[in-house]
Amino acid sequence: MNPPTIPSPLTASAEHVDAAPSNFLRAIIDRDLANGTYRGRIDRDGRPLPPVVTRFPPEPNGYLHVGHAKSICLNFGIARDYDAHGGARCHMRFDDTNPTKEGQEYVDSILDVVQWLGFSWEHQGRSHVYYASDYFETLYAFAEMLIAHGCAYVDSQDADTIRATRGSLTEAGLASPFRERSAEENLALFRAMRAGKFADGEQVLRAKIDMAAPNVVMRDPVLYRVRHAYHHRTENRWCIYPMYDFTHCVSDALESVTHSLCTLEFENNRPLYNWILTQLCELGALPPPLPKQYEFARLNLTHAITSKRKLLTLVEENHVEGWDDPRMPTLVGLRRRGFTPESIRLFCERIGVAKADSWIEMAVLDQALRDDLEPKAPRATVVLRPLKLIIDNFLEGHHEACVAPVHAARSELGQRSFQFTRELWIEQEDFMEVPSKGFFRLSPGNRVRLRYGFVIECIGCDKDEQGQVVAVHAHYFVDSKSGTAGSDLYKVKGNIHWVSAAQAVSTEVRLYAPLFMDAQPDTSERNFVASLNPHSKEVVHAYAEPSLAQALPEQHFQFERHGYFVADRVDTQPGRLIFNRTVSLKDSRHK
Ligand code: ATP
Ligand code: MG
C-alpha cells in the first residue's frame, strides 16, 4: 500500500518562508543543546567547535533533484537557524567512494545549486566543503586498527557466496571459513589488497560482528572492496574503496558532526554506524562525543521521479533534453522551469519533516511558486494563440496610448505603457462565432472590454477556404477608454486581453505538462519510461506586449490570465525571447 498523499494547502502565505519550523529533529537538537551534549568541543587546531554541526552528503553521481532540496533545506536550514542560538554550521560533503559513477561535472553542479537555493557552507570566515576521498588515508588506517584488534577480517569468498550466506530474517548467517584468520594474516592480506595484488571482487574486508544478529546489516558487513578504477580526485592512487557504511560514519566523526540526518532507508544501518564509531572510539582513534544518526522520511513527489540513477536514464535515452530540461524534477530543471529558490524553500517548509513516508502532490510545489511570485512578479500581457482583431472604425496608422499597472497591488512599481492600434492580437479562445452557453467574450453582436483599452462590439469575422476564422472585426467606442470619465457606463460581462499587432514582440513560449502520466511513475508495475507523457512539451509562437522585449534571462512574470512564466535562462538572447510556463494561475496542471 502506498503512503498517504498530502493535499495542497488552499490558502497559504509566503511570508513565513524563513521562519524556523519545528520538527522532531529540532526537538532532539534542542534537547542536546539543553543537556550540553556537544558543548565545549575543540577541533584539531584548537578552535572551538559549534554545538550543532550537520552535513549534506550527496554522492556526486548525478544532478540533485527536488528530494535533495528537502535534505539541503533541513541540514543547512538547521545550521542557519541554530547559528544564532549557540552556534551551528553545515558541511557540504561529497560522498565520493564509487569512482566509476562520479565526476567533477556533478560536483560543480551540486555546489552551484546549493548556493542557488540560498545556503552557504561558510562559517566564521571558513569554508566547509569536504570530500570523503580526502579521508581515504585515514579510513585505511582506521581499517588497519580494526583488523589489528580483531574487529575486521579479509574474506576471500566471492560476492555471491557472501550474499548467499548472510542468512535471512528467520535464519542466522553462515560464518565465512576465513572468519578466524589471525590479525597478522588479515593485515598482510589487506595490505596486499591495497597494493593491487588482487582483482576486483577477489577479496573484501568485513567487520567481525555477529553472523546471527537479528539485524542482517550487522552480519559482518563489507567495509572495503577491490575496485581497479580511476577516481576523479584520487586518480589511480587507490584500487580499494571503502563502503558507504564505513565511510559515512567515520567522515561524520572526523568532521565533528553532531546530528547526522539521513533518510529512513538507513534506519537498519544505524546500529552499524554506532558500532564502527564505538570501536574506533574505544581504540582511541576518535574522540567522544560521537555523532548520532537520525532518520527522516524522504520526499516522494507525484508525477516525478526522485532517483538520480533513473533521472540519468531519462537523460541518456534522450527522453528529455538534458538534466536541466524544464520538465525534470532536478533542481537545475526546476530552476530553468522558473521555480525560485524562495518557492522551493517554502515548499520544503510546508511539507515539513516527519518520520513516516508520504507522497506530496506536485500541486503543493506549484502553489509555493504562486505564493512566492504573486506579490513580486511584474504583470505582462502575452497572447499565446493569436487571432487577428481588426477595429474597423479605428484609423489606420493611428494609435492611442494605454497604461496598465506593473502590479495592481503595488503602485510603487509603476506602469507599463503600450499602444492601442487598428489591428490587435487576441486569444483564439476569446472568440466564438456561435457562442456556447455562458460564453461572454467576443461573438458577433457582443460587447467586451479590451483590458486597459476600449469597449468594442464584434461585427463579424473573416474565414479562409477551410472555414477557419482568420480575423475578427469590431467597432470601438471612442468614449469607453479605461480610466477615463464615463468609461464605466459601458456594462460588459467579458474582459479580454490583447496586444497591438503593430507593437507586439514575437516570442516563443514553451508550455509544459507533467513528464509522467502516472502520479507514482516509479512504484507501479509499469516501467517509469512507459509512463512518460508524450505531450509534456508544447511550443507556441506568441505575441507579447512591448515591455517584454527587455526581459532578461531568468526574469519572472505573471502573464495575465495565463500564469507564471520565466525567460528561459539558456536560450533567451537579445532579440530572441523565449519563455517557459512555470505554472498556470490555478491548479489545473495535474487534473
Ligand atoms: P539517489 O538515489 O537519487 O542517488 P541518494 O539518497 O542515493 O539518492 P545521495 O546523493 O546519497 O542520494 O543523497 C544525499 C542526501 O540527500 C542524503 O542524505 C539523502 O538521504 C538525501 N536525499 C536523497 N533523496 C532524498 C529524498 N527524496 N528526500 C529527502 N532526502 C533525500
Ligand atoms: Mg545514492
CA of 307 to the centre of ligand 2 (A): 8
Q: Ligand 1 center to residue 67 CA distance, Å?
A: 7
H-run or E-run covering 226: strand 222-226
Instruction: Please indicate whether residue 101, judged by its CB atom, sits closer than 6 Å to ligand 1.
Output: no
Q: pLDDT category, 591, cuts 50, 70, 90?
A: very low
The answer to whether residue 1 scores a pLDDT higher than 60 is no
So where are the chain's domains? Answer: 136-243, 385-497
Q: Report pTM.
A: 0.94
Q: Is the CB of 60 inside a 6 Å radius of any atom of ligand 1?
A: no
Ligand 2: centre distance to CA 58 (Å): 7
Output Rg (C-alpha) for the chain, integer angstroms.
31
Distance CA 99, CA 36 (A): 39
Residue nearest to atom 12 of ligand 1 (CA): 58
CA distance 295 to 272: 14
Residue 3: what pLDDT?
52
pLDDT of residue 358 exceeding 90, the answer is no
Q: Which ligand is nearest to the CA of 348?
A: 1
pLDDT at 165 over 80: yes
pLDDT greater than 70 at residue 289:
yes
- Tell me if residue 87 falls in helix, strand or coil: coil
CA distance 516 to 149: 53
CATH ID of 136-243, from 3.40.190.10, 3.30.110.60, 3.40.50.980, 3.90.800.10: 3.90.800.10
Taking 3-state DSSP, the helix, strand and coil percentages for the chain, each rounded to the nearest 5, stand at: 30, 25, 45
In sequence order, what are the beta bridge partners of 402?
Answer: 418
Q: Kindly report the protein residue whose alpha carbon is nearest to atom 2 of ligand 1.
A: 307
d(C-alpha 348, C-alpha 331), whole Å: 13
Ligand 1: residue whose CA is nearest its atom 14: 58
Q: Does the pLDDT value for residue 34 go beyond 60?
A: yes
Average predicted confidence (pLDDT) for the chain: 94
SS (H, E, C) 428-485: HHHECCCCCCCCCCECCCCEEEECCCCEEEEEEEEECCCCCEEEEEEEECCCCCCCCC
Q: Whose CA is nearest to atom 11 of ligand 1?
A: 58
All residues with CB under 5 Å from ion ligand 2: 59
Which amino acid is residue 306, in one-letter code? Answer: T
User: Is 70 exceeded by the pLDDT of residue 442?
Assistant: yes
d(CA 125, CA 332): 28
| Any atom of ligand 1 within 6 Å of the Cβ of 262 | yes
Give the number of other CB atoms < 10 A from CB of residue 484. Answer: 11
Mean pLDDT, residues 43-48: 92
- pLDDT of residue 516 exceeding 90, the answer is yes
Above 70 in pLDDT, residue 11? no
Q: Grid coordinates in use for 154?
A: 579479509
Which has the higher per-residue pLDDT, 21 or 98?
98
Determine which of 2-11, 224-233, 549-558 has the lowest per-residue pLDDT on average.
Answer: 2-11
Neighbours of 527 (CB within 10 A): 12
For the domain made up of 385-497, give the CATH fold: Ribosomal Protein L25; Chain P (2.40.240)
Q: Write out the catalytic residue numbers.
A: 59, 298, 308
| 9: pLDDT strictly greater than 50 | no
Residues in the chain, overall count: 591
Query: Does residue 270 have its Cβ closer than 6 Å to ligand 1?
Result: no
Predicted pLDDT at 574: 87
pLDDT of 499 reads: 98
Percent of the chain with pLDDT over 90: 93
Check if 298 has its Cβ closer than 6 Å to any atom of ligand 1. yes
* Nearest ligand to residue 98 Cα: 2
Domain 136-243 shares a fold with domain 385-497: no
